[in-house]
Amino acid sequence: MLSITALLWLATLGAVKGEEEAKPENVPSFVPVCETNTFSPPSLGVGITKFSIEAEIQRKYSTHGGEHRIPDIVRLDFCQVKVHLNHEGTNDDVLVEVWLPLSRDDWNGRFQGTGGVGMATGMFGGALGPAVKGGYAASSTDGDHPIEEANDSTWVLKDGGTVDWNLLTNFATRSLAESVVVGKSITEQFYKEKPKYSYWNGCSQGGRQGYVLAQQYPHLLDGILANAPAISLTHLVMAELWPQLVMKEEGVWMSTCEFNYFRQKAMESCDMIDGASGTKLLTWHGVNDPAIPHQSTVQYRKRVELLMGGANEVDKFYRLFLAPGVEHCAGGNGPVPIDPLAALIEWVEDGMPPETLEAETTTYDGDRVTRELCAWPGVARYMGIADPKRASSWTCHGATERPEDDWAEEDNSRSSRAGQILDELKDRLEGLGMGFTIG
């Protein structure tokens, strides 16, 4: 039996909102042909010197979700198209995989680009399986580096120890756009019609990729679901290393149970604040995320407001939701968004921006807890009556208030050579779109 988190991931990656669109009567059903000669090289402009395409039908295929508690998929039938491409002046071999439901009846008319995880540009089966099961044509890419181990970063360096800027560029920006363009082209060639809408779906590294696409290639997609984005890497990496450095300097090492104790006390302290004890870019971020602090996403949102006309203007295309008690992309003690992709689809296709996201979790005692997550900066407050485990017992407050910036201003007056080197590297990484800072 699938866990509640796995079911939520299925909804996030593959759910289709609403009823199926009515199909014209008395129209002969077109049967897509999953063969290599069905497809021709997509147009990617200058800089691509080689293309190869192969296609085959996969039946009763199984995928392993692995990261972020994505569910395993079994007995999946689809058309698998592999597109290899090479960039001019390099010896790279970038693989883009496109998975397509075998018939038009099984296709929901939408395309979904899927993101990576850790240091992997894409996930292939882990993300593509749930998307195809939900009726999407979907794509992912390896950026021409190993993606089997999400935390493998050895590919960043060449054999001589120098940075492989070509692969890093693939990882940062280039392969993301190419995966979407290739995926949409293959989809159109297979079904003989363009996708009605195109979406991005990613968390963590996939969230960062979604933000890159929103900034640099917004014309490629109609909606972007980018959760817990790994942005502001210069802050993020230092934040990850700082606790270890402090413990080493102090000679005091905290146990897992001690960490859990402090986390629980922090949650209890915040409980009294919300009144209970116990897109289009759309983003949600867990407040208890131990890998990527939610403050980095809040900081990004604030900077967008400064640059783009204030909160009301930004709300027209970008909504942020914070999930108290939730960890990195899933898990934790708090209610997890059930189907944010459906909320994004409703926003894009029906013009209804989400004011709340439905969320739920199951306690250790087996009790179901539901909540409506409020659009930032709003927070849910317990009304003091009825069952606090029910979403109807909560209401959103503070949606029009703008919290003070809780990040200290950066000191850019570095005089040492080490500081200059760090600044130069930071500028180069931000130029690639990896750890961008707006403004």
- CB-based burial, 107-127: b 16+ in 10 Å, e otherwise: bbbbbbbbbbbbbbbbbbbbb
Q: Is the domain of 220 the same as that of 261?
A: no
pLDDT tens for each residue of 12-31: 555 444 334 444 454 456 78
Domain boundary among the residues 186, 203, 227 is at 227
- As given in the structure block, the two tokens for residue 33 are 């042909």
Q: Which two tokens stand for residue 137?
A: 């044509």
* Strand 223-227 versus strand 197-203 pairing type: parallel
Which of 244, 340, 228, 247 has the alpha carbon at shortest distance from 293? 228
Q: Check whether residue 91 and residue 201 sit in a common domain.
A: yes
Ranges under pLDDT 70 in the chain? 1-29, 65-69, 236-237, 240, 262-279, 400-439
Of 227, 246, 276, the one marking the end of a domain is: 227
CB neighbour list of residue 232: distance below 8 Å, 6 or more residues apart: 296, 299, 300, 435, 436, 437
Average pLDDT, the chain: 82
Give Cα separations from 182 to 97, 223, 234 (angstroms). 9, 18, 32
Same domain, 222 and 259: no
Pairing of strands 110-114, 197-203: parallel
Q: Which of 227, 246, 263 is the last residue of a domain?
A: 227
Check whether residue 345 and residue 219 sit in a common domain: no
Contact 111, 134 (CB under 8 A): no
SS3 content of the chain, % helix, strand, coil (to 5): 35, 25, 40
Residue indicated by tokens 């939520």: 8
- Asked if residue 159 and residue 37 are part of one domain, the reply reads yes
CA–CA separation, 81 and 100 (whole Å): 8
Token pair for residue 79?
């058309």
Strand 318-323 to strand 336-337: parallel, antiparallel, or no bridges (unpaired)? Answer: unpaired
pLDDT reported for residue 49: 84
Instruction: Output the CA–CA distances (angstroms, integers) from residue 198 to 181, 315, 341, in the order listed.
Output: 10, 21, 12
- Short-list 340, 126, 319, CA closest to 214: 319
Asked whether residue 16 is domain-assigned, the answer is yes
Is 283 within the bounds of a domain? yes
- Let me know whether 148 and 205 are in one domain: yes
Provide the pLDDT for residue 423: 59
Give the model's pLDDT for residue 256.
77
Does residue 411 lie within any of the structural domains?
Answer: no
In degrees, to the nearest 5, what angle opens at C-alpha 209 toward C-alphas 205 and 211? 120
Residue 9: give its domain's CATH number: 3.40.50
**Cβ proximity of 320 and 301 under 8 Å:** yes
- Do residue 217 and residue 349 come from a single domain? no
pLDDT value at residue 272: 43
The tokens 């395993």 sit on which residue? 72
pLDDT value at residue 37: 96
Identify whether residues 142 and 264 lie together within a single domain.
Answer: no
Q: How many structural domains does the chain have?
A: 2
Residue with tokens 């001690």: 258
Same domain assignment for residues 244 and 139 = no
- Pick from 21, 138, 143: nearest CA to 73: 138
183 and 240 belong to one structural domain: no
Same domain, 197 and 277: no
342 within domain boundaries? yes
Task: Give the residue among 309, 302, 308 at the shortest CA–CA distance from 377.
Answer: 302
Structural domain boundaries, residue 180 = 4-21+31-227
In-domain check, residue 417: no
Query: Alpha-carbon distance 18 to 206, whole Å?
Result: 26
Let me know whether 209 and 275 are in one domain: no
Residue 89: strand, helix, or coil: coil
Domain presence at residue 84: yes
Helix (H) or strand (E) holding 78: strand 73-87
